[in-house]
Chain A
Amino acid sequence: MTTTETTGTAPAAQPDGTPLLHASGVIMRFGGLTAVRNVDLTVNSGEIVGLIGPNGAGKTTFFNCLTGLYVPTEGSVSYRGTVLPPKPHLVTKAGIARTFQNIRLFANMTVLENVLVGRHTRTREGLLSALIRGPRYHKAEARSRARAMELLEFTGLAGKADHLARNLPYGEQRKLEIARALASEPGLLLLDEPTAGMNPQETRATEELVFAIRDQGIAVLVIEHDMRFIFNLCDRVAVLVQGQKLIEGTSDVVQSDDRVIAAYLGEPIATTEGDAGTDAGTDGATDAETDTDPDGGSAAGEQENDR
């Protein structure tokens, strides 16, 4: 359950322990449909937590509950011990930033301007200040720009600061979304499928980026379908199926859990030969998806009853 990997390189990286985000008993109903059922999740500082599950499991809905886009029907979400208000901008102000599953950049603003918008909560200059343009305004603006350029350097987009966001290639748009989220100086970053549609090299690069973000002391909660990516990256993985949290634990625990396999592949065929492949560390994802374990039958049966 706890992080095992601590990095000595990052000065700001806090060791594990203190809970950052705590969601307890989150239930989200849309009319008769319960998209999220009673999910608890804790993210500690300095941790990378993964959230996986089949399509329609309620991962993004859960994300939206965390970030205030949806108000949970029941349950509460607290950040650093205080309950979060159900307004997206206040959540961001409190220190949780997010990216979106389908990229939502400000397409007709430049790359730099996108990141500057992310700085909104950390700057205070209002309309009057903008009209008067005193020294304080110029100082704040210069600071914002410097910080934004820093983030663009960090994500490798500095050379394209003046381009329109819409003109960036897909992978760089994803990076820009992360840079924009980082601009709000979050303590926790929520990434919704950051590698969707990427090739293996780009996925690798994103992995590095997420590690680098964690090394800056920012905890990360990530939704992803790429199992290799998730199990490489995450200290802990939670599995969401049908709106319910099935299991939470380290990569190994999750990979070898029969219910997870069943949830992804459906009911196993009992006659298939069992194969010891699930213990492989990095290849676990593919193995887990290709192998069916005869022992999984009973678990899958339970799952079936739940439905």
Chain B
Amino acid sequence: MTDIPTTAAAEILGTTDPFAPRKDPFVTLPLPAARALTLLGAVATIASTFMSWTYTTDFPGDLTVNGYPGGLQVITLIGAILTGLIALGAFRVKGLAWLVPSRSNNAVLLLAAGTFATTWYTVIAIAQELGGLANLDPGGFVAAVASLALLIGALALPIDRHPLEQPDADYYELGRFSENGAFRGTWAWLREARLRHSELPVADPRKLPTWVQYLAIIVVAAAGLKVLTYGLATGYTEVFVGYLILVAFTLWSFSAAGLTRQFSQITTDHRPFAMIVGVLAAIAYPFAQNNEHWANLGVNILIFGTVALGLNIVVGLTGLLDLGYVAFLGVGAYAAALVSGSPYSIWSGTQFPFWAAALVGMAASLVFGVLIGAPTLRLRGDYLAIVTLGFGEIFRIAVNNLDGVSGPKVTNGPNGIAQIPDLSIFGYNLGDSHDIGSFTLGRFANYYLLMLVITVIVVLIFTRAADSRIGRSWIAIREDETAATAMGINGFRVKLIAFALGASLAGLAGTVSAHVTYSVVPNPYQFSGSAPPNSAFLLAAVVLGGMGTVSGPVLGAALLYLVPEKLGFLQRYELFAFGVTLILIMRFRPEGIIPNRRRQLEFHEAETEVPAPRAPGDGAVTAGQAGA
């Protein structure tokens, strides 16, 4: 009885290529008008930031001054300028076209959206915090309208999007009335609205002169450092929110523009140089600001990131789910504290030099890693997760009880080992401030630099191990353990090596962490808590950042550390927010923020039918298509 519109389906199937790239605007306007509106919106937004947005100085970051942007206005200003530049690049204006090698307007749309979001967030925050729209100056309204115009203009540009969904025969005949069919139908518009720019051809950056490539690496490193220090320096939650919004949208937009792809090609071609510049930028961090608080943040992020990198060997490469990993950090920290010369240590007389303490910490973690790993690594999958989860808790509880009352006196129980003296390396006391030229390196800056050395060592260990016979066998075990053993890999042995290596790297980081925090107490070394590092956060950093990559876990660690630090209001909902974020990431970007090339191919197979265009030798094809 129901009419089956097969003819309609056939027509659609016959006339359109289902996978044809689609360039449709979201808002219908003539193209010149859309472009004009975009540029006009950008200019007006820029102009608006020079006006006063509110009457009072009650809102954080003085927004009352005419002719001088402050606080969130600066972020809006930067966003609008970037949008304007990218728009000119996307419109192929001579001299700026290189900004958008993918020729996609998606880059414009994303930056416009970022600017719009920041501006409207500011305006709404002013109205909400100060009680009503009455607190807005005309400048605030101008900014709101201008950024809205900018967004509408960008929406009216032809946007590269996912192909239209085909109402295929199955759907019409079987699925139409089924739950699934209805579901698919309802959400089709949303899927069709998704942007699609990852396969657009971009010019091959290897054709650029070498010095330009080197310069690009330096500029990006410097800009990254500047952006990072700016973000850390933001004193107000509101400004940090605006900053986060803009940074996220800008990075997304650069990826849509194809700049990210070009840059990653450059860094793979000049890997040693890129690494050196990256390290130099990291060294410059404590010099770029003279604030001990930020240096402290830096150390903690590095410790957290280094431990996450160690966990990445276990989880990302070998595929062993370790839920008690933070215990190894604790073992390292306690071992270092015991030989640090602290008066609360049972061996209060012994004070090892740092290298010896680091070795002791590593060795202790290694021993524990082998002790835990040897009986459990014969198991597969979930069993290991449960055992490691148990071990993590056992460590914390045992350390709590080794106080001389419930058990032998080793760790002073909940009081921990306090008054750990500062390290002194070659007569350089890390506890004192040192003047280098016009810069002053405080205590945390010293530790930051020490930790940076350790991070670099861990990165080297990670990359070298991953790209070798042993690393390949780890990945093989992750992929298919049965096949791996049939290929002659001693699964148990190889897994134990990964487990022990991961553990000792965490122990190494732990030795520094003990000295940075002056004291070691059992409480932070638990499965989950509201502050990093704990096992759940470490795992989240690895998964969020990107499994199997170097930069992923470090970035994930930085985000997981900074966001709760800066967004105080989240505190009560922090774990909830992380849960939601992780679910969203797993659903929409399972390979993490920074994808491993392998994993990206794995998860987005349908979207990339051909292997990665980044493979050596294939670049010429894309370059040819781009005609650059």
Q: Which residues of A pack against B, CB within 8 Å?
A: 67, 69, 87-89, 92-93, 97-98, 100, 104-109, 113, 116-121, 123, 125-127, 129-131, 133, 137, 141, 144, 162-164, 166-167, 180-181, 184
Closest 3 CB pairs of A and B: A121-B488, A130-B468, A92-B488
8 Å CB contact of B482 from A69, A107, A116 = A69
Among the listed stretches B108-116, B260-268, B359-367, B489-497, which one makes contact with chain A, having 4 or more residues with CB under 8 Å of it? Answer: B489-497
Q: Are A127 and B601 in contact (CB under 8 A)?
A: no
Q: Beyond the given A127-B465, A131-B460, A162-B617, please list 14 additional residue pairs across the A-B interface where CB-CB is below 8 A.
A: A88-B482, A92-B488, A104-B483, A105-B480, A108-B599, A113-B475, A117-B476, A123-B469, A125-B468, A125-B469, A127-B501, A130-B469, A141-B468, A164-B602
**Interface 1/0s, chain B 461-500, versus A by CB < 8 A?**
1001100111111011001101111111111000001000
The winner among B469, B479, B617 for most chain A CB atoms within 10 A is B469
Contact of B488 among A131, A144, A184 (CB under 8 A): A184
- B257, chain A: closest CB distance, angstroms: 26
**Cα A106 to Cα B479 with chains together (Å):** 5
A166 and B489 alpha carbons, distance in the complex (Å): 21
By a CB distance below 8 angstroms, the chain B residues around A130 are 464-465, 468-471
Residue among B468, B475, B487, B605 with most chain A CB within 10 A: B487
* A109-B472, A127-B497, A130-B465 known; A117+B482 contact, CB < 8 A: no
Q: Mark B101-123, 1 if CB is under 8 A from A, else 0.
A: 00000000000000000000000
CA distance A104 to B605 in the complex (A): 19
> What are 28 A-B residue pairs whose CB atoms fall within 8 Å in the complex?
A69-B482, A69-B485, A69-B486, A87-B485, A88-B482, A88-B485, A89-B485, A93-B488, A98-B486, A104-B480, A104-B482, A107-B479, A108-B475, A109-B472, A109-B475, A117-B484, A119-B469, A120-B469, A120-B472, A120-B489, A125-B468, A125-B469, A130-B468, A131-B461, A162-B611, A162-B615, A164-B598, A181-B487
Q: Is B437 an interface residue (CB 8 A)?
A: no
Assembled-state Cα–Cα distance A166/B616 (Å): 19
- The digit string for B30-58, where 1 denotes a CB below 8 A from any CB of A, is 00000000000000000000000000000
Distance, CA A123 to CA B472, complexed state (A) = 12
A105 to B482 Cα, complex, angstroms: 10
* Distance of A73 Cα from B488 Cα, bound (Å): 23
A106 touches B491 (CB 8 A): no
Whether B602 lies near A108 (C-beta < 8 A) is yes
Cβ–Cβ < 8 Å partners of B460 in chain A: 131
Which residues of chain B are near A184, meaning CB under 8 Å?
487-488
Give residues in B with beta carbon < 8 Å to A. 460-461, 464-465, 468-473, 475-476, 479-480, 482-491, 497, 501, 598-599, 601-602, 605, 611, 615-617
A127 to chain B, nearest CB (A): 5
Distance, CA A5 to CA B479, complexed state (A): 40
Contact A107–B602 (Cβ < 8 Å): yes
Cβ 8 A contact of B479, one of A109, A119, A125, A127? A109
Chain B residue with the shortest CB-CB distance to A93: B488
CB distance from B609 to the nearest CB of A (A): 9
CA A125 to CA B486, docked complex, whole Å: 19
Among B464, B476, B611, B617, the most chain A Cβ lie within 10 Å of the Cβ of B476
Q: How many Å lie between the Cα of A119 and that of B488 in the bound state? A: 8
Name the residue on A nearest B602 (C-beta). Answer: A108
Please measure, in the bound complex, the distance between the C-alpha atom of A137 and the C-alpha atom of B469, giving whole angstroms: 10
Q: Which residues of A contact B464 (CB under 8 A)?
A: 130-131, 133
Tally of contacts, chain A with chain B, CB under 8 A:
119
**Cα distance, A207 to B109, chains bound together (Å):** 56
Q: A93-B488, A121-B488, A184-B488 are in contact. Are A109 and B465 (CB under 8 A)?
A: no
- Measured between C-beta atoms, what is the minimum distance from B194 to chain A in Å? 23
CB distance from B429 to the nearest CB of A (A): 31
In angstroms, Cα B601 to Cα A119, docked, is: 25
> A120 with B611: in contact, given A108-B599, A131-B464 (CB under 8 Å)?
no
In Å, the complex CA distance between A130 and B464 comes to: 6
Q: How far is the CA of A99 from the CA of B486 in the complex (A)?
A: 9
**CB of B501, distance to nearest CB on chain A (Å):** 7
Nearest A residue to B501, CB-CB: A127
A121 to B472 CA separation, bound complex (whole angstroms): 13
Across the interface, name the chain A residue whose C-beta is closest to B617: A162
Among the interface residues A109, A123, A184, which one has the most CB atoms of the partner chain B within 10 A?
A109
Asked whether A120 and B486 contact (CB < 8 A) given A130-B468, A131-B461, the answer is: no
Task: Name the B residues within 8 Å of A98 (CB-CB).
Answer: 486
C-alpha spacing A92/B601, complex, angstroms: 31
- Which of B490, B491, B605 is packed against the most chain A CB atoms within 10 Å? B490
User: Nearest Cβ in chain B — how far from A77, in angstroms?
Assistant: 15
Q: A130 to B469: give the CA distance in the assembly, Å.
A: 8
Would B479 and A108 count as touching, CB distance under 8 A?
Answer: yes
Query: Are the CB atoms of A180 and B487 closer together than 8 Å?
Result: yes
Closest to B615 in A: A162
> A162's contact among B482, B483, B489, B616, by CB below 8 Å, is which?
B616
Residue of B nearest to A67 (CB): B486
Contact A166 B602 (CB under 8 A): yes
B462 CB to nearest chain A CB (Å): 10
With a CB–CB cut-off of 8 A, which chain B residues contact A92? Answer: 486-488
Distance (whole angstroms) from the CB of A296 to the closest CB of chain B: 39
**Whose C-beta in chain B lies nearest to the C-beta of A98?**
B486
Nearest CB of chain B from residue A290's CB, rounded to whole Å: 37
Residues of B within 8 Å of A120, CB to CB, are: 469, 472-473, 487-489
Closest to A99 in B: B486
Which residues of the other chain, A, contact B484 by a CB distance below 8 angstroms?
106, 117
